[in-house]
Chains A and B, each alone.
Chain A
Amino acid sequence: MRDTQLLKLESVTRSVLLPDDSELHILNGINLSVSEGDHIAIVGRSGTGKSTLLNILGLLDRPTTGHLAWRGLDATKLSARRAAHIRGRDLGFVFQQFNLLPGRTALENVMAPLMYATGADFWRRRTLATEALEKVGLGARLDSMPQTLSGGEQQRVAIARALVRRPKVVLADEPTGALDVATGRAVMELLDAATVESGAALITITHDINVAAMAREQFQLDEGILKPLTLEVAP
Chain B
Amino acid sequence: MNTIARLFTGFIASLLEAWQELRIHKLRVLLSLVGVTIAVASLTTAVAGASVAQQLMTEQLERNGRPALISTYAYNQRSDGIPAADSAVTEAFKKTTERFDIEYASVVSRASGYRMLHQGTSIDPELLVVDPEYASIHRLFAQYGRWLEAEDAQNLAPAVVVDRTVAQKLDLDQNSLPASIDIEVGGKMVSATVIGATSTRDGGLDGQVWMLPQTYDHWYAADAPLMDATYEMWVPIEGSEELAAHFSAQMRAELPGYQVDTMRSDYLTWGGDESLNMLALVAGGIAGIILLLGSLSLLNVAMVTMKQRIREVGIRRSFGATTGRVFFSVMMESVVATAVAGGIGVLISVAVVTNPKIINMFLGSGIDQMPAFPVGAALAGILISIGVGALTGVLPALVASRVKIVDAIRV
Contact = CB atoms under 8 A, between A and B. Distances in A.
A binds B: yes
Interface of A: 51, 55, 58, 60-61, 80-81, 84-89, 93, 95, 99, 101-104, 108, 112-113, 115-119, 122-123
B311 A80 contact: no
A85 B319 CA distance: 9
Contacts of B17: 115
Contact of B20 (A55, A104, A113, A118): A104
Nearest to B2: A118
A88 B323 contact: no
Interface in B91-133: none
Contacts of B318: 58, 60, 87, 93
A101 B6 contact: no
Contacts of B25: 103
B13 interface: yes
A95 B409 CA distance: 9
Main DSSP-derived SS at the B contact region: helix
A215 B311 CA distance: 29
Contacts of A102: 24, 312
Given A60-B405, A113-B320, A118-B9, 7 more contacts: A85-B322, A87-B317, A88-B319, A89-B320, A115-B16, A116-B320, A118-B2
Contacts of A60: 317-318, 405-406, 409
Contact of A113 (B16, B312, B319, B405): B319
19 contacts: A60-B405, A60-B406, A80-B322, A81-B322, A81-B323, A85-B320, A86-B320, A87-B318, A87-B320, A88-B319, A88-B321, A99-B311, A108-B20, A112-B315, A116-B316, A116-B320, A116-B325, A118-B5, A119-B9
B289 to A, nearest CB: 34
A87 B320 CA distance: 5
Contact of A84 (B2, B24, B320, B410): B320
Main DSSP-derived SS at the A contact region: helix
Question: How extensive is the interface on chain B, given as a class?
Answer: 20 to 34
Nearest to A81: B322
Contacts of A115: 13, 16-17, 319
A164 B9 CA distance: 18
A186 B278 CA distance: 74
A60 B316 CA distance: 12
Contacts of B20: 104, 108
Contacts of B409: 60, 95, 99
Contacts of A87: 317-320
Contact of A61 (B5, B315, B321, B406): B406
A118 B6 CA distance: 6
B81 interface: no
